[in-house]
Structure 1
Amino acid sequence: MSKQVFPFNVGFDCGNGLVKLKVSGHGHDFEYIRFPSYFVDVTKCHNDHQGKSRVTYITAPENNKYAKSLENKVWVCGNDAAVLDVRDQVFDNRSDGKVKLSLPLFLSAVAQLPLARKHWEFRLVASIHDAEVFADQMKANLEGKHLANINGQLTTVVIHVVKIFDEGYIFKPVGKGNTTLLDIGNGTTIITRFDSEGNVIYRSIPYKFGVQHLYKKIYDHTTLRAIGLDRDLDLIRRGVESPDNEKIFYGVGKGAINITSAYKESLKDWSTVYLKEPIAEVDKFQLQGDRVVVVGGGACLPFLSKNFEKKGYIFNAQAPFMNVKKLHEYACNSLSAETVEA
């Protein structure tokens, strides 16, 4: 009799800007894995790139056409890819980038788990900005038995895709009255409205903008242009995500440049150009008595979060992880409602 293998449970949020992963099982409950959604094929120069995200893909499932195209490819992702001049990014393929890069990004995330195994089996629950259009292909690309070299050893990764949700649908907030969820992601912004029992009663068409557009405005600011052609969007992202005493720096150490003024000016312009319409929409629901909850990477942007507080919006430091947290709960068959009170 063959030994029964119980899979690890995984929530997978393949974001336009950041990959988030939550894995548990077999007595382990790993911390969140989080890294930029960058991907670089280093097959032709693989000896030069030995980062922890490195994956050498060997054998794909017979019926997985996309995975077959990855056979004998070597890649790095996240911060290992950020140091390279040329990289693909989910954001650059905003319509179907999550579909195309979900498998490489997922395997590179597995490589960063604090446990090395020769065999992984996963029950995976994921999300995407338009599940009706992209979920089936995303599932087809991920599913099956994959053989790869991960962390220097031959590793079998078996993926069972349980479900792929529309982003935000799984949040399921409950409380007195309705809740409007404003999800400001890296490449899209989505509004979802729930009744008091957590049922979806409204879903906006995804606004095709996000935090990445703010980074691009900072990149084009005169302060950054003065740095020269070699300025780096990833260094801008790191500075915004890690302010120092309410100051934003480009780079680290003695050579770091204070770009706080450039950030504030770009934030004001970005908010006026992009956020005005979705903010007006959620304010309309707030006037009807809804609580407004802000999630996604845009929820905690320096200085913007204070404006959200003044408007009575609700958010917390875990806002960027709320989606993957709920996806993981679903994979564990333990999805709970989020009690939200103003």
Structure 2
Amino acid sequence: MIATQLKEAETPQTTSKIAVGDDSGAGLKKLCLGNGTTQTRVRTPSKVLEIKEELHDVLTSDEGGHFFYHSGDRQDLVGREFLTGTLASWKAPTTHIKLSDDPALKAEYGLHTLLGALATLPYRQEWNLHLVLSIHNVKVFKNLLTDKTSGSHTVSFNGKNTPMSQVNLNVSLVVPEGAGSYSYCVSAKPEPLIDRSAHAIAVDFGTSTVIPTVFAPGGSIIHRQVLEVGGCIDLLDAIAADPELVQFLGTGKAGSIEIIRQGIESHLFQYGTRNFNFRHIYARHLKPWLADRLRLAFKEVEEWRDAAQSFVAWGGGVEMPGIASMLQREGITPVPEGCWANAVGLQRMAFGRMQRGK
């Protein structure tokens, strides 16, 4: 699920290197910059649109960015302009690129979504970022993602003629999705959520996917499989198409996924400004949605369950109302800040590598 960007502190106005965790999910881009009291987090939908005509007005949102590429190591982008996240879906609701449509798009457009995330932050003349990235298939996409992201990029944010920013990106490491979350869990305070000395099982409830993963002692991935069913988006679709909601709206069409998402995240379950509360519809669809996914996840990891000392769940789906208690009843530990676990873990890895000169 998407939440508004967290700005616990403004990014410092210096040109020193910042350790960054970049979690490019199929549904959401999560960027975690810096640590401690200066840490900044940005979360935007994984969507991109190239602009080929003048905008009527400058579009701004905490959940989407706008950049013009002047020059840099991506020669194929010179002179081109893009919207990302919410701005892409605002401008072209049906024709924008969704990174969930094809696994290769996360590597192809990783730089776009990163620059779009930076566009939501206060202006800096120069960014020097030391990155640890995650990708679903490291073997296939590591080199492509690194080549298309790393280097120097001169851009303008929020328009062609705004002051330029020099964005210098050093890709220190590319790891499998979930590696950051594992790191987050083994270093959790006051007690680790995963016992590093033993096998562990995790289920990632993402926007588009549900992914069970088995970790060996120490954190190496033994088994990982994307389930055939979808993630949180399937639940939102079911609520949107619920006959009671469709009848209330009176248009014969399904409800708005975006409005439903906002209602769930607020925990108020109001359908926008309409006098309709869908809490009971959410409750009706939630149990079968989760039960189906847990059944398939249990089947996928069955042969490792007896050896696993830890069984956790992370991802944005874990933060939806009612999910945590349902998982606990199944003997699964819900990870706090489940949506951010991977990005925060990646940031810690980036900081450690930066300190060691890697």
Matched, 1:78 2:99: no
1:132 aligns with one of 94, 117, 139 = 139
Matched, 1:236 2:260: yes
Percentage of identical aligned residues: 23
Classify the secondary structure of the residue corresponding to 1:333: helix
How far apart, CA to CA, are the structure 2 residues paired with 1:73 and 1:46? Answer: 14
CA contact 1:39–1:87 (8 Å) conserved in 2:
no
* Aligned amino acid, residue 59 of structure 2: Q
How far apart, CA to CA, are the structure 2 residues paired with 1:71 and 1:55? Answer: 15
How far apart, CA to CA, are the structure 1 residues paired with 2:140 and 2:334? Answer: 30
CA contact 2:207–2:231 (8 Å) conserved in 1:
yes
Classify the secondary structure of the residue corresponding to 1:50: coil
CA contact 1:56–1:72 (8 Å) conserved in 2:
no
1:121 aligns with one of 90, 115, 128 = 128
CA shift for structure 1 position 240: 2.2
Instruction: Provide TM-score, normalisation by structure 2.
Output: 0.79
* Aligned amino acid, residue 203 of structure 1: H
Task: Name 1:18's counterpart in structure 2.
Answer: 28
* Aligned amino acid, residue 104 of structure 1: H
Task: Name 1:144's counterpart in structure 2.
Answer: 151
Task: Name 2:343's counterpart in structure 1.
Answer: 324
Task: Name 2:236's counterpart in structure 1.
Answer: 215
2:328 aligns with one of 301, 309, 325 = 309
Matched, 1:31 2:31: no
How far apart, CA to CA, are the structure 1 residues paired with 2:174 and 2:98? Answer: 17
Task: Name 1:106's counterpart in structure 2.
Answer: 114
CA contact 1:42–1:49 (8 Å) conserved in 2:
no
Task: Name 1:259's counterpart in structure 2.
Answer: 278
CA shift for structure 1 position 322: 0.7
1:167 aligns with one of 177, 180, 192 = 177
How far apart, CA to CA, are the structure 2 residues paired with 1:256 and 1:317? Answer: 32
Give ranges in structure 2 of 5+ residues lacking alignment.
1-14, 187-193
How far apart, CA to CA, are the structure 2 residues paired with 1:191 and 1:292? Answer: 10
Classify the secondary structure of the residue corresponding to 1:132: helix
How far apart, CA to CA, are the structure 2 residues paired with 1:296 and 1:178? Answer: 20
Go from structure 1 to structure 2 and tell me whether the alpha carbon gap of 1:205 and 1:61 turns closer, same or farther (over 3 Å shift): same
CA shift for structure 1 position 79: 3.2
CA shift for structure 1 position 137: 1.3
CA contact 2:67–2:115 (8 Å) conserved in 1:
no
How far apart, CA to CA, are the structure 2 residues paired with 1:218 and 1:97? Answer: 28
Classify the secondary structure of the residue corresponding to 2:327: helix
1:277 aligns with one of 286, 292, 296 = 296
Task: Summarize the alignment of residues 170-249 of structure 1 with structure 2, pairs less than 5 Å apart.
Answer: 170=180, 171-172=182-183, 173=186, 174-175=194-195, 177-196=198-217, 198-200=218-220, 202-208=222-228, 209-226=230-247, 227=249, 228=251, 229=253, 231-244=255-268, 248-249=269-270
CA contact 1:56–1:75 (8 Å) conserved in 2:
yes
Matched, 1:56 2:67: yes
* Aligned amino acid, residue 279 of structure 2: T
Matched, 1:88 2:112: no
Give ranges in structure 1 of 5+ residues lacking alignment.
336-342
CA shift for structure 1 position 225: 3.0
Task: Name 2:189's counterpart in structure 1.
Answer: none
